Amino acid sequence: MKFCPRCGAEMETRTLLDYQRRVCPQCDYIYWNNPLPVAGALVVDERGWVVMALRNEAPAKDSWNIPAGFMEWGESAEAAACREVQEETGLEIELTGFLGSYGAGRREWPWYSVTFIFFYARQVAGTLQAGDDAAEVAFFPPDALPDPIIFSSNHHVLRRWEADRRRGVGGALGQGSAWAQIDWSAAVDCDHTRE
Ligand SMILES: [Zn+2]
Protein backbone atom coordinates (compact mmCIF):
# COMPACT_ATOMS: atom_id res chain seq x y z
CA MET A 1 0.00 0.00 0.00
CA LYS A 2 1.73 3.16 -1.23
CA PHE A 3 -0.60 5.92 -0.05
CA CYS A 4 -2.57 6.26 3.16
CA PRO A 5 -6.27 5.48 2.58
CA ARG A 6 -7.16 7.94 5.35
CA CYS A 7 -5.11 11.06 4.54
CA GLY A 8 -3.37 10.29 1.24
CA ALA A 9 0.22 10.74 2.53
CA GLU A 10 2.93 8.33 1.40
CA MET A 11 3.13 5.32 3.74
CA GLU A 12 6.35 3.81 5.12
CA THR A 13 7.31 0.34 6.29
CA ARG A 14 7.88 -0.24 10.02
CA THR A 15 8.21 -3.34 12.14
CA LEU A 16 5.30 -3.45 14.57
CA LEU A 17 4.41 -6.46 16.73
CA ASP A 18 6.83 -8.79 14.92
CA TYR A 19 5.65 -8.02 11.38
CA GLN A 20 6.51 -5.40 8.79
CA ARG A 21 3.53 -3.12 8.32
CA ARG A 22 2.75 -0.08 6.22
CA VAL A 23 2.30 2.94 8.48
CA CYS A 24 1.29 6.51 7.67
CA PRO A 25 3.86 8.98 9.12
CA GLN A 26 1.29 11.77 8.76
CA CYS A 27 -1.78 10.44 10.61
CA ASP A 28 -0.44 7.19 12.17
CA TYR A 29 -2.84 4.99 10.23
CA ILE A 30 -1.56 1.39 10.34
CA TYR A 31 -2.31 -1.07 7.56
CA TRP A 32 -2.32 -4.28 9.60
CA ASN A 33 -2.36 -6.52 6.55
CA ASN A 34 -4.67 -9.03 8.18
CA PRO A 35 -5.77 -11.90 5.96
CA LEU A 36 -9.12 -11.88 4.19
CA PRO A 37 -11.36 -14.78 5.16
CA VAL A 38 -12.60 -17.17 2.49
CA ALA A 39 -15.19 -19.79 3.47
CA GLY A 40 -16.13 -22.98 1.71
CA ALA A 41 -17.46 -26.48 2.17
CA LEU A 42 -16.55 -29.98 1.12
CA VAL A 43 -19.96 -31.43 0.24
CA VAL A 44 -19.90 -35.22 0.71
CA ASP A 45 -22.75 -37.48 -0.46
CA GLU A 46 -23.86 -40.83 1.00
CA ARG A 47 -21.47 -42.67 -1.35
CA GLY A 48 -18.58 -40.63 0.07
CA TRP A 49 -18.12 -38.60 -3.15
CA VAL A 50 -17.38 -34.85 -3.10
CA VAL A 51 -18.44 -31.84 -5.15
CA MET A 52 -15.76 -30.05 -7.14
CA ALA A 53 -16.23 -27.06 -9.45
CA LEU A 54 -14.40 -26.25 -12.68
CA ARG A 55 -13.44 -22.57 -12.65
CA ASN A 56 -14.41 -20.39 -15.58
CA GLU A 57 -12.68 -17.24 -14.33
CA ALA A 58 -9.15 -16.10 -13.50
CA PRO A 59 -7.21 -16.94 -11.46
CA ALA A 60 -6.76 -20.58 -12.38
CA LYS A 61 -9.41 -20.74 -15.08
CA ASP A 62 -9.97 -24.35 -16.24
CA SER A 63 -8.78 -25.79 -12.93
CA TRP A 64 -10.97 -27.56 -10.39
CA ASN A 65 -11.56 -26.32 -6.87
CA ILE A 66 -13.68 -26.88 -3.80
CA PRO A 67 -16.55 -24.35 -3.71
CA ALA A 68 -15.51 -21.36 -1.60
CA GLY A 69 -15.50 -17.60 -1.71
CA PHE A 70 -14.88 -14.33 0.07
CA MET A 71 -17.05 -13.56 3.05
CA GLU A 72 -19.38 -10.57 2.90
CA TRP A 73 -19.51 -7.79 5.45
CA GLY A 74 -20.98 -9.00 8.75
CA GLU A 75 -21.35 -12.59 7.53
CA SER A 76 -20.38 -15.68 9.54
CA ALA A 77 -18.01 -18.22 7.97
CA GLU A 78 -20.80 -20.80 8.24
CA ALA A 79 -23.31 -18.64 6.36
CA ALA A 80 -20.70 -17.71 3.75
CA ALA A 81 -19.84 -21.37 3.11
CA CYS A 82 -23.53 -22.24 2.58
CA ARG A 83 -24.09 -19.22 0.32
CA GLU A 84 -21.01 -19.89 -1.82
CA VAL A 85 -21.91 -23.56 -2.32
CA GLN A 86 -25.44 -22.59 -3.26
CA GLU A 87 -24.25 -19.91 -5.72
CA GLU A 88 -21.62 -22.11 -7.38
CA THR A 89 -23.34 -25.52 -7.40
CA GLY A 90 -27.08 -24.99 -6.87
CA LEU A 91 -26.99 -27.22 -3.78
CA GLU A 92 -28.54 -26.27 -0.48
CA ILE A 93 -26.42 -27.77 2.25
CA GLU A 94 -26.22 -28.26 5.97
CA LEU A 95 -22.87 -28.21 7.69
CA THR A 96 -21.81 -31.47 9.33
CA GLY A 97 -18.50 -30.43 10.88
CA PHE A 98 -15.47 -28.19 10.86
CA LEU A 99 -12.78 -29.37 8.44
CA GLY A 100 -9.97 -26.89 9.02
CA SER A 101 -8.53 -23.47 8.23
CA TYR A 102 -5.50 -22.65 6.14
CA GLY A 103 -3.50 -19.44 5.81
CA ALA A 104 -2.25 -18.68 2.31
CA GLY A 105 -0.21 -15.90 0.77
CA ARG A 106 2.07 -15.28 -2.17
CA ARG A 107 5.54 -13.79 -1.89
CA GLU A 108 4.81 -11.66 -4.99
CA TRP A 109 1.83 -10.15 -3.15
CA PRO A 110 3.26 -9.31 0.31
CA TRP A 111 0.37 -7.03 1.20
CA TYR A 112 -2.35 -9.55 0.58
CA SER A 113 -3.20 -12.92 2.10
CA VAL A 114 -6.27 -15.04 2.74
CA THR A 115 -7.39 -17.56 5.34
CA PHE A 116 -9.47 -20.43 3.97
CA ILE A 117 -12.09 -21.76 6.39
CA PHE A 118 -13.59 -25.10 5.34
CA PHE A 119 -16.49 -27.15 6.67
CA TYR A 120 -17.90 -30.58 5.90
CA ALA A 121 -21.41 -30.47 4.51
CA ARG A 122 -24.10 -32.53 2.88
CA GLN A 123 -26.86 -31.71 0.44
CA VAL A 124 -30.33 -31.18 1.85
CA ALA A 125 -32.04 -29.65 -1.22
CA GLY A 126 -31.36 -28.13 -4.63
CA THR A 127 -30.13 -29.55 -7.93
CA LEU A 128 -26.50 -29.78 -8.95
CA GLN A 129 -25.84 -27.17 -11.64
CA ALA A 130 -22.95 -24.83 -12.38
CA GLY A 131 -23.58 -21.27 -11.21
CA ASP A 132 -21.36 -18.25 -10.46
CA ASP A 133 -17.79 -18.62 -11.75
CA ALA A 134 -18.17 -22.36 -12.39
CA ALA A 135 -18.19 -23.95 -15.86
CA GLU A 136 -19.04 -27.40 -14.55
CA VAL A 137 -19.80 -29.02 -11.19
CA ALA A 138 -19.87 -32.73 -10.34
CA PHE A 139 -19.45 -35.31 -7.58
CA PHE A 140 -16.20 -37.29 -7.65
CA PRO A 141 -15.07 -40.37 -5.70
CA PRO A 142 -11.92 -39.98 -3.57
CA ASP A 143 -9.88 -42.26 -5.84
CA ALA A 144 -10.81 -40.42 -9.07
CA LEU A 145 -10.69 -36.70 -8.32
CA PRO A 146 -10.52 -34.33 -11.30
CA ASP A 147 -7.28 -32.82 -12.55
CA PRO A 148 -5.81 -30.24 -12.15
CA ILE A 149 -6.95 -29.08 -8.71
CA ILE A 150 -5.80 -25.55 -7.93
CA PHE A 151 -4.83 -23.84 -4.63
CA SER A 152 -2.53 -25.39 -2.01
CA SER A 153 -5.35 -24.94 0.53
CA ASN A 154 -7.50 -27.32 -1.53
CA HIS A 155 -4.77 -29.95 -1.42
CA HIS A 156 -4.53 -29.50 2.35
CA VAL A 157 -8.29 -29.97 2.57
CA LEU A 158 -8.17 -33.17 0.51
CA ARG A 159 -5.38 -34.58 2.68
CA ARG A 160 -7.34 -33.74 5.83
CA TRP A 161 -10.41 -35.36 4.26
CA GLU A 162 -8.45 -38.57 3.63
CA ALA A 163 -7.15 -38.62 7.22
CA ASP A 164 -10.65 -37.95 8.58
CA ARG A 165 -12.12 -40.79 6.52
CA ARG A 166 -9.59 -43.17 8.02
CA ARG A 167 -10.47 -41.88 11.49
CA GLY A 168 -14.15 -42.45 10.78
CA VAL A 169 -15.22 -38.81 11.03
CA GLY A 170 -18.91 -38.73 10.06
CA GLY A 171 -18.80 -35.51 8.04
CA ALA A 172 -15.88 -36.83 5.96
CA LEU A 173 -17.83 -39.99 5.11
CA GLY A 174 -21.06 -38.22 4.20
CA GLN A 175 -22.72 -39.69 7.25
CA GLY A 176 -22.63 -36.71 9.55
CA SER A 177 -25.74 -35.32 11.07
CA ALA A 178 -26.31 -31.59 11.10
CA TRP A 179 -23.46 -30.07 13.04
CA ALA A 180 -25.68 -27.67 14.89
CA GLN A 181 -29.06 -26.14 14.24
CA ILE A 182 -28.08 -22.53 14.54
CA ASP A 183 -29.15 -19.56 12.49
CA TRP A 184 -25.76 -18.86 10.91
CA SER A 185 -27.18 -15.95 8.99
CA ALA A 186 -27.57 -13.74 12.04
CA ALA A 187 -25.06 -10.92 11.89
CA VAL A 188 -23.46 -9.96 15.18
CA ASP A 189 -23.37 -6.37 16.33
CA CYS A 190 -19.70 -5.57 16.75
CA ASP A 191 -20.03 -2.23 18.50
CA HIS A 192 -17.53 -2.93 21.29
CA THR A 193 -18.52 0.18 23.20
CA ARG A 194 -21.77 -1.54 24.18
CA GLU A 195 -20.14 -4.57 25.76
ZN1 LIG B 1 -2.48 9.01 6.85
What SS3 state is found at 48? coil
User: Domain holding 26: CATH number?
Assistant: 2.20.70
Straight-line distance from the first to the last Cα atom of the chain, in angstroms, rounded to the nearest whole number: 33
Distance between Cα 30 and ligand 1 center (Å): 8
179: in domain: no
pLDDT of res. 184: 60
The residue type found at 67 is P
Residues 105 and 77 in one domain: yes
Q: Which residues pair with 95 in a beta bridge?
A: 121
Distance between Cα 25 and ligand 1 center (Å): 7
**Average pLDDT over all residues of the chain:** 90
**Within 13 Å of residue 81, how many CA atoms lie on the same side as its CB?**
27
Distance between Cα 114 and ligand 1 center (Å): 25
Residues 70 and 151 in one domain: yes
Among candidate residues 122, 111, 117, 124, the one with its CA nearest the CA of residue 33? 111
Average pLDDT over residues 40-59: 93
pLDDT of res. 59: 76
Number of domains present in the structure of the chain: 2
pTM for the model stands at: 0.87
Distance between Cα 110 and ligand 1 center (Å): 20
Question: How many whole angstroms separate alpha carbon 119 and alpha carbon 83?
Answer: 13
Distance between Cα 13 and ligand 1 center (Å): 13
Q: Render pLDDT for 183-195 as a digit per residue (tens, 0 to 9).
A: 666 556 655 554 4
DSSP line for 88-125: HH-EEEEEEEEEEEEEEE-TT-TT-EEEEEEEEEEEEE
Distance between Cα 27 and ligand 1 center (Å): 4
182: in domain: no
pLDDT of res. 195: 46
β-pair type (36-43, 113-126): parallel
Contact call for residues 19 and 30 (beta carbons, < 8 A): no
Residues 136 and 162 in one domain: yes
pLDDT of res. 95: 93
Distance between Cα 29 and ligand 1 center (Å): 5
Asked if the model's pLDDT at residue 35 lies above 50, the reply is yes
* Parent domain of 151: 36-173
Residues 73 and 3 in one domain: no
Residues 160 and 88 in one domain: yes
Distance between Cα 68 and ligand 1 center (Å): 34
Q: Render pLDDT for 121-169 as a digit per residue (tens, 0 to 9).
A: 999 999 999 997 789 999 999 999 999 998 889 999 999 999 999 999 9
Residue 73's pLDDT band (cuts 50, 70, 90): confident
What SS3 state is found at 183? coil
Q: Render pLDDT for 20-34 as a digit per residue (tens, 0 to 9).
A: 899 999 999 999 989
Give the environment of ion ligand 1: residues with CB less than 5 A: 4, 6-7, 9, 24, 26-27, 29
Distance between Cα 31 and ligand 1 center (Å): 10
pLDDT of res. 190: 58
Distance between Cα 51 and ligand 1 center (Å): 45
